[in-house]
Amino acid sequence: MSGQSARWWTVPVVALVCLLPLCAVAQSSAPSAQSSSPAAAFSVDAATLRRYVGHYRIGDVDLEAVMTVTQSGTQLTAQVSGQQAVDLYAQSATHFVLDRKAPDASVDFVTGGKGAATALSLHLDGQTVTMPRMDDALATQFNAKLAARVQSNAPQPGSQAAISDWLSRVAKGQPPDYGRMAPKVAEAARAKVVQTAATIRSLGALQSLTFQRVAPNGADIYRAKFANGSMFVLIVVDEKGIITYMLMQDAT
C-alpha cells in the first residue's frame, strides 16, 4: 500500500478511543511546532478530583467501550477499554490535557453542583465527543466480557464474510454495501471510497484472507494477502452483521 494506511472509523468516538493512547505517546516523544510553549500546570485538590473518578460510556446506541477515570493522590488517569492508560494534567478545575506540550488533546469534566461529574468531553484530532457517566457494575461487566473475548481469540461470526464481500465489490469496481455498515461507518466509507478503492486495486488480486487475532479493543484482525502486497483489516460487526468499526493498515 505504498507505505500508507487507509482508515475507516466508525463514529468519531471510536476514532478517539483508538487515538487516545497513541496521541499521548506521540506527543510526549515528538512535540509539534504548534506546542513550543507548554501549558501552565494548575493545582486541583484531591476532593475535587474524586468527583471525576468513575466510568463513562462510549457509544450512543450500543455500548462500544468504557472510559475509566481513576485517581492516585492528585493525579488522574484515564483508560479506555482494551487500551493503555494515560495521565491527565489539570489546566483548570474541570479541564485536563493529555500532555502539557500539546493542549489540543484534552478532557473536560461536566459537573452539576458539587456532586460527581455527570459526563466528560474528549477533544482530540479536531473532534469532540461527550461521554455520560455510567453504572459501575455495567462498566465492569462490559470490560470483563471484552477481556474474555480477547482471551478466547476467536473471530466474530460474520466478520470474515463482511471483509470478503467488501473486497469483492472493490475488485469489481462496485461501491461497498453501505446498508451493511453503521451510519457513521458508511459516511466515512463514502468520503474515502475513491482513494481506498484505488489503493486496494493497486495491490492486485486477493490471494488469501486469514484471521490473525482479536485486538485489545475487541476488533478481529485479518491479514489480506494480494498479488502485490498485504494489509491488515480490523473489523467489528454487531449481532446483525453490521460493520460498526473498520480500519485498514499496511502489512508489507
Is the pTM for the entire model greater than 0.95? no
Q: Is residue 115 domain-shared with residue 171, that is, in the same domain?
A: no
Please state, in angstroms and as integers, the Cα–Cα distance from residue 23 to each residue in 86, 99, 105, 117, following that order: 10, 9, 8, 24
* Residue-range definition of the domain harbouring residue 198: 153-250
Residues 240 and 134 in one domain: no
Whether residues 158 and 43 fall in one domain: no
Report pLDDT digits (tens) over 187-236: 888 888 888 888 888 999 999 999 999 998 889 999 999 999 999 999 98
Question: For 112-137, how does the pLDDT look when each residue is reduced to its tens digit (9 = 90+)?
Answer: 878 899 999 998 877 788 899 999 99
For residue 7, tell me if it sits in a domain.
Answer: no
What does the buried/exposed string (b/e) look like for 27-65 if buried means 16 or more CB atoms within 10 Å of the residue's CB? beeeeeeebeeebeeeebeeebbebbebbbbbbeeebbb
Domain check: are 75 and 184 in the same one?
no
Q: 242 and 119 in one domain?
A: no
Query: Helices in 121-172 by DSSP H: which ranges?
Result: 136-152, 159-171
Average pLDDT value over all residues in the chain? 82
Instruction: Tally the domains of the chain.
Output: 2
Distance separating alpha carbons of residues 160 and 164, to the nearest angstrom: 6
Longest dimension (CA), the chain: 61
**CATH number of the domain encompassing residue 243:** 3.10.450
Same domain, yes or no, for 144 and 163?
no
Q: Which residue has the higher pLDDT, 99 or 158?
A: 158
